[in-house]
Amino acid sequence: MPLINYPILILAGILVGFINTLAGSGSLISLPLLMYLGLPANVANGTNRVAILLQSLVGANSFRQKKIIRFQDGIWLAIPAVVGAVIGAFLAVDINELVMKRVIGGLMIVMFFLIAFKPEAWIEGKAEKIHARPGFWQTVIFFGIGLYGGFIQAGVGFFLLGGLVLGAGLDLVKANAMKNLIVFLYTPFALAVFIFNGQVDWLMGLTLAAGNMTGAWIAARLAIKHGARIVRIVLLVVIFVAAIDMLVR
């Protein structure tokens, strides 16, 4: 890999880790970048999990240190997500590369409109009391989110926020912290599937992870009141351009 690609990966990783920790969908930046730098779609999908794992570890631990979440709080919701993530990862490793690109491109278009119409408007203020253990529908919801996360990861943050607020009853602040914890808990299982199938580029993954971890560390320590607007604009531009590239190439 050319030397210029390393600082590109690190800088992109900082942005991705920041976005993922505060909201989600940062992988809609890192996945196209990994493919642009030469990785096949399936390998890019697996390699991205290295950065996601270390980023979510930093984010979840930072929120834990602030006493926003406890590790044990996420176990019950993480169990169905883990099962779904393993199944999703097995589906992803065998998918045709062209199909994977089309799936990513289509997903970007969907997420573009979700972000454009401010999902926080329907996420905020609708939380109910959370139960100690998830009920049937909560289990189904988080299994489905895990399935999706294991398959592609990109955009799973928004689905987790929706599931945690509307499905599990957390307020938005705790949901964001719990999102990082659940991603950290299911990602090792999905990553193991990609490792077993030889679909991880460790050098690129760890380089990207250095940036992701830095971005996560910064995001978890900043109470940015108006930063979401800037992140939203950046995401809209990047997602739109990358989606067109994926769908027409």
* Model pLDDT, residue 223: 43
Collect all residues with Cβ–Cβ distance below 8 Å to 99 and sequence separation of at least 6. Answer: none
Instruction: List Cα–Cα distances, 160 to 18, 93, 148, 175, 201, in angstroms.
Output: 17, 23, 10, 8, 27
Name the stretches of the chain with pLDDT < 50: 125, 127-129, 223-227
* Model pLDDT, residue 115: 66
| 88 in Cβ contact with 150 (< 8 Å) | yes
Q: Which of 114, 152, 180, 198 is nearest to 28 (CA)?
A: 152
> What does pTM read for this prediction?
0.79
* Model pLDDT, residue 127: 46
Q: Check the CA dihedral 134-45-86-82 and report its sign.
A: negative
Domain region containing 83: 5-248
Helix, strand or coil, per DSSP, at residue 24: coil
| 221 in Cβ contact with 214 (< 8 Å) | no
* Model pLDDT, residue 43: 93
* Model pLDDT, residue 100: 67
Overall number of domains in the chain: 1
**DSSP labels, 38-71:** T--HHHHHHHHHHHHHHHHHHHHHHHHHTTS--G
